[in-house]
Amino acid sequence: MGDAKTAVVFAGQGAQGIGMGAELAVAYPECRALFDRAGEILGYDLGALCFKGPESELIRSDRCQPAVFVVGAAACAALMKEKPGFAAEGMAGLSLGEWTALYAAGAVSFDDALRILEARGRFMQEACREHEGAMTSVIGLTPESLKPVCASAGVEMANLNSPEQTVLSGPKKGIEAAEQLAAQAGAKKVIRLNVAGAFHSSLMASAAGRLAEVLAKVPIQTPRVPVISNVTGQPHGAPDAIRQTMVKQVTSSVQWIACIQWFQSRGVTRYVECGPGRVLSGLIKRTAAASVQCNVQDKASLQKALTALG
């Protein structure tokens, strides 16, 4: 396994859970320091929220996005501490996780990424109040076969997660229509998501506009390693292009299949998922069946990852 190429990927919203990051914060001063710094910047104890909840607070987008980011950053810090000199072929993240990837690749500072995600979460939450939207996960149909469903129902593809799983997003009535049409088209499963609104759709336009104003003032560098964009499925370019693409990301489909295909084209066969849960590992397995997945979210998973990395 020593010469295998490895990509590092970062969890998105929905992966959060009470207790996330607690073991790493106890085991590694570097990790504890990230939670402490986040508390100073945000003005509340983010560590306590991650470790103890309450759930009702943790699911708020303006709390959840910084929280999942810090846990992903802490997991990455623990990995680097245990495996100095570890080099990834590239990085990516699902939605908010793309900001964690940009931070890990040196494109944006910890403090700035945290402030961006607090604002991004707040703007998205407010856009949800402006438009009553919903999201649903369709399993067992290809993105191609969902195009007529989306056109008929007036909804959009929010996440192209794997060849067999696509998340649709749009107005609540449209999503209800899309669920019926998808079932008629032969979907194996249609699952309504427990989210505040229609993320990654045109109903998030107001959030994207406000995020553009925030990003205009933030210093961004060229990433040290390729960070694959959710919007294009290709590596990010120069700082100004990163700003534009990350604004677009709020209303665009997450091209997760294309991100994994880019890694495959570069010979990546191992994926390390940093942050809470194992959602991405499951999705990657469906696009890159022959690959090896490991994750880092606590001490046990870190040890397994280190063994897998050799």
Active-site residue set: 95, 200
What is the CA angle 7-13-16, rounded to 5?
A: 95
Phi and psi at residue 5, in whole multiples of 5°?
-85, 140
Q: Which of 130, 127, 134 is nearest to 193 (CA)?
A: 134
Neighbouring-strand partners of residue 171? 133
DSSP-derived 3-state class of residue 183: helix
Contact 11, 68 (CB under 8 A): yes
By residue count, the chain amounts to: 310
Q: For residues 139 and 164, what is the distance between their CA atoms, to the nearest angstrom?
A: 6
Cis link prior to 219 (omega < 30° from 0)? no
CB-CB neighbours of 285 under 10 Å? 17
Q: For residues 91 and 105, what is the distance between their CA atoms, to the nearest angstrom?
A: 8
